Structure formats: C-alpha cells, structure tokens
A and B are shown apart, each in its own frame.
Chain A
Amino acid sequence: MRCDLAVIGAGPAGLAAATRAAEAGLAVELFDEQPAPGGQIYRAVESVPAARRALLGPDYAAGAELAAAFRASGAGYRPGALVWNVDSTLDIDFSQGGRSRQCRARALVVATGALERPTPLPGWTLPGVTTAGALQILLKAHGCVPSEGAILAGSGPLLLLLADQLTRAGAPPRAVVETVPRGRLLEAARHLPAALGAPGYLAKGLRMIRALRRAGVPLHRHATDLVIEGREQAEALSFTAGGRRHRIESGLVALHQGVVPNQQVTRLLRCAHRWSDSQRCFLPVLDPWFESSVEKVFVAGDGAGIGGAASAALRGRLAALGVLRRFGALDGAALEQEAGGLRRRLVRDGAVRPLLEALYAPSAQVLAPADETLVCRCEEVTAGQIRQAVRLGCPGPNQAKSFLRCGMGPCQGRMCGLAVTEIIAAERGEVPQTVDYYRIRPPLKPLPLIELASFEAAEDQPGDAPPDAPPDDRDAA
C-alpha cells in the first residue's frame, strides 16, 4: 500500500491538508481512529442532529464544510484506523478492522491535535472525575448531559464555553470554579491591544459569563487548593476562594487547565521540540511551511502549537502547500500568493493567543502537585515519589520512568508526561527544555499480540505498484 502523502488525524488540520493535497493531484491517505471525520473539535459534525448543532454554536458548524470538502476531494480515507508506528522511512504501521498493515508514504502530515493538560489534583482519579472535553464529547457526539449539575473546575476558554453549552442545553453546571489567580487579568492585559484585533473572542467570553450569571450558575473565581472528595467515586469539590473554604457536592467534576499538543507521533519520529514558556508545553520545531526537523514530516493544527480550529485548518492547507513545494509540484508566484493569503489569515486568527495564554496559564497547584497527589495514574506514582527519585539522582523523565514505572502504563505518558517534566525541572532547578520529555516508543497504543503476529509489512503486499509520480519529483530547496 502506498501513497504520496499520509495524514494522521481527521480534525480541521488533517482534513484541510488532505483536501488541498488531493486537489493538487497527490495520492493521499488520511488515517483517523474515529469512525467519522472531525477530530475532537468537530466530533460527530456529519451526524449531529440539527437541534444539537444549533446548541453547540456556529464555530462547531463550520466543521461540516471541511468534512464535505474532504469527502469530495478524492483523498483516501481510513476511518477506525489506529496508526501505531511510523518509522524513519515514513512507513506507516496501522491497525484497522483487527488487522495490522503497512502503508509506504513519501511525506507525512501529523495532525493529531491536542490533548488536555494533565491536572493532577487530590482525588482526580476517582470515578466521576473527567476532563471538560469529556463532557463536551458526551454532549456533541451523544446528546448526553449531566442530570444533576456537574462542577466545572479549572481555567481556559473551553471551561466557559462548556458551561455555556450545558446551560443552553438545560443542564447548567452546579458551579464553575475558576483557578485563574487574582491579578492575572491585569498582567495579561498588556496583550490586550493586539488581542482586540481578533474576531470577537473577548466579547464572546463576556457574553458567556453574563449568560451564566443570568442562569444562576455560581461562578467562583481565583480558587486554590482544590480537593476532589469521595471514597469510591467523586462526591464533592472543596476549594478556597474569597478568603474561605467551600465545599460543593456533585458526583461529576470536570477539570480543565487548557490543552497542549499531542506529542506522541512527533516524539516517536524524534522530531526536535522546544519548550514554550508562553504555552507552558513542548512544541515541535517547525519551519515556515510547518516542516519539522525530520525531512518530509509536517505538523499542522494544534499539534504545532495551540491555536484553535480556524488556525488548524489554515495550517493544514499551508502544510499541504509545503508538501507540494517539497515535491516540486508547486512553486513560484502561485505558491507564494496562496500561502501569503493563508499566512495573513493565520496572523489575524492568532492575535488573541498571547492574551489567552497569559490569562489562562495553568494553575500553580497542577504544575506543582502536593507530594501525595498521584501524577502517573496508570502506575500510581505520586509527585513525592518523583521528587524523591530526583533527589536520589534520577536526572530526567526517562530515568524516573525506569526507576518508578511512571509513564510505563498503557497511556504511555499522555496523562503524566508534562507534569513529570515540570516536577523534575522544579526539583533540579533546571528548565523544562533541559529536562526534556519521555522517550516515546511504538506501538503508540497497545497492539494485540496476535495482530502483531500476523502483521503485513509493505514488502509482503503483492502487486504494489507506485502511483504515478508527481511531475517534478525533486526536493525543493
């Protein structure tokens, strides 16, 4: 099985990249784990009933056009496909329908998006504690809402958006507990002039807060020392705000501290990453065409840095142009004109980002969890154990992993990686760039042994004629 361009991820970036590349005549294969296009942000966008779509807002509905354009583009689409390995020659090892096969690609766009920042808090592993994104998926993809009022706790645009969507769906949260520290808005305000150039984000945020107030949803601000209480499952959230301790009961607590790039594929491929102080996470090092430090591996969407859905689609198109340029299939004035237009729109869409990043920086409590707090959920390793390993001499996350088993569970560090890096950096007095991150090894998700036993490598596949090569198959400078 071969293609010119493999795209991993059917969110806005992946859809846009695959569409643009296919429209230019490349043989494209889009791999995605979900059964339908949209990724997380546009999840279920093709099948959502009209009433629910209206509730979710106009930004969500924009995903339908992306999905439709992709369907019409002629790109190959492999839904329900889990890419579990990509090797250094860009052979894509994937599992679909219980079978594992290999697809040879000449270039790759990694569009695996973002995941929620780890939020280690006391009690966060109790049943009934979810991410804010999880409640949003229940709403978007299944039309399910909390029946008795969930507590939304943390910070970030998604928290307010979710509170607003749940309220409009008739299931207002029991409370919104925001962890943005007092005085943060003033600090962030220096970014305001640039932010006001962006399309109405701030206005939207204020509208949502007013709507919540009208619906009687309690909004607690500047909360600290969050503790999720419960024995067998979540029962309440207690926190300090306004100078006193609060306790609010609920069996559903949704946490959020922003989203961060999903690094699994870029780390697997050994792309260079750099620590971003403003986003407080690792970003792949990318050139202006979104090509990484590994030849012909491009990263588009939130995986390139958190920018939201509209930016993701723009980056996806730019990455496709980067691929075409690499293949020598597009150059000169036409390329520069199309790319220039996209870049200008990206700048405009990104204008609000510095404000959001400053305002919604993760809370001190999740960046420096108390010693008894579980950090690695899979292997039940606490923050204190990690600190102790560092004091014994573990210099980094990989040694801590070998010593404590943190990061060795099935989630392969997705839930704990950033938190472990932060804890080790703080304990060693080093910056996260130096401490770096877990080494990521395949399979990217657990693979049944018998499926590996019958894995069809590319060399086994008969009659594998390569598609016609694009007109001028040389690497562009």
Chain B
Amino acid sequence: MLTRLEDESEGAETGRQAPAQVIRFTFDGRPLTGRHGDSLAAALLASGVLRFRVSPVSGAPRGPFCLMGVCFECLVEIDGVGNLQACMVPLEEGMAVRTQGGGVRVVAGAAGTSEAS
C-alpha cells in the first residue's frame, strides 16, 4: 500500500549513513514496525493496515481519512485506552494497539444489560 522513499535515513543531509531508528509495536497482537518520527497512523498505514476501527453505529470498517486530526476516523485503542487519534500520537516502542471496538459491548458482570449492536 505504501512504501518509504529510498533515500530516507537520518543524517542524509550530512552524508552520514545512519539507519532510521526502527520502533516495534503490535496491532491486534501482530508484531509490526515503524520508524522514529512516525505518527501511529503513518506506521500502521506503512505496514499495510487500512482498517483501524469499526463504526459504532453500523460496524462498517473505517480507516484514516485526513491524517491531520480533523476527521476522527483513525481512532484506536493504545495500551488499553480507547478513542485516541492515531494520526496525532507519535509512535513509541512497545505500544500495544488494538482496533477500536464496534458497537456497545456489554461489560462483564453487568447483569440484566442487553446486548447491543
């Protein structure tokens, strides 16, 4: 889906060949990598991930649209915290990212509550 430009590496300006720093993270348990300076959204897209969440209204698959923090389509769950805009979060080593859930899930132990879509 996306490739990184060939001549990219930190220090290209000074002529030093330093490899761009690789950052490891997971998405729904799958190990992925990105680069230092990536937003989480860029790292996911560069890894071929297009679907970041499902719509809470219909369950339709959604992915990033604007990449500038305006559309709120890139919402993901990072280290257990949901509703985060992946395009506004810098990628960090070890992040455990998950698809943002769909409809309203039932909380375990909430007896008597009904299943929602």
Contacts and interface: CB of A to CB of B under 8 A. Distances in A.
Interface of A: 33, 35, 40, 47, 49-52, 115-116, 125-131, 133-134, 137-138, 141-148, 169-171, 232-233, 251-252, 262, 377-380, 409-411, 414-415, 445-446
Interface stretch (B22-30, B56-64, B108-116): B56-64
Interface of B: 1-10, 12-13, 35, 37-39, 42, 45-46, 50-52, 55, 57-58, 60-73, 75, 83, 88, 90
A133 B50 contact: no
A115 B51 contact: no
Contact of A142 (B39, B50, B57): B39
Contacts of B45: 138, 144
Contact of B66 (A33, A134, A144): A134
30 contacts: A49-B7, A49-B13, A51-B5, A51-B7, A125-B55, A125-B60, A127-B51, A127-B52, A128-B1, A130-B67, A131-B67, A134-B64, A134-B66, A134-B68, A142-B35, A142-B42, A143-B4, A143-B5, A144-B46, A145-B2, A146-B2, A170-B5, A171-B3, A233-B61, A233-B63, A251-B50, A377-B73, A380-B58, A411-B71, A415-B65
Contacts of A137: 67-68
Given A35-B90, A146-B1, A127 B61 contact: yes
Given A145-B2, A251-B50, A380-B58, A130 B64 contact: yes
Given A127-B63, A251-B50, A133 B3 contact: no
**Residue in A47, A142, A147, A170 with the greatest tally of chain B CB atoms within 10 Å:** A142
Given A33-B88, A49-B12, A138-B42, A379 B57 contact: yes
A127 B70 contact: no
A294 to B, nearest CB: 23
A-B CB proximity, top 6 nearest: A127-B63, A134-B67, A127-B50, A410-B72, A147-B3, A142-B42
A142 B37 contact: yes
A379 B55 CA distance: 9
Contact of A144 (B42, B69, B72): B42
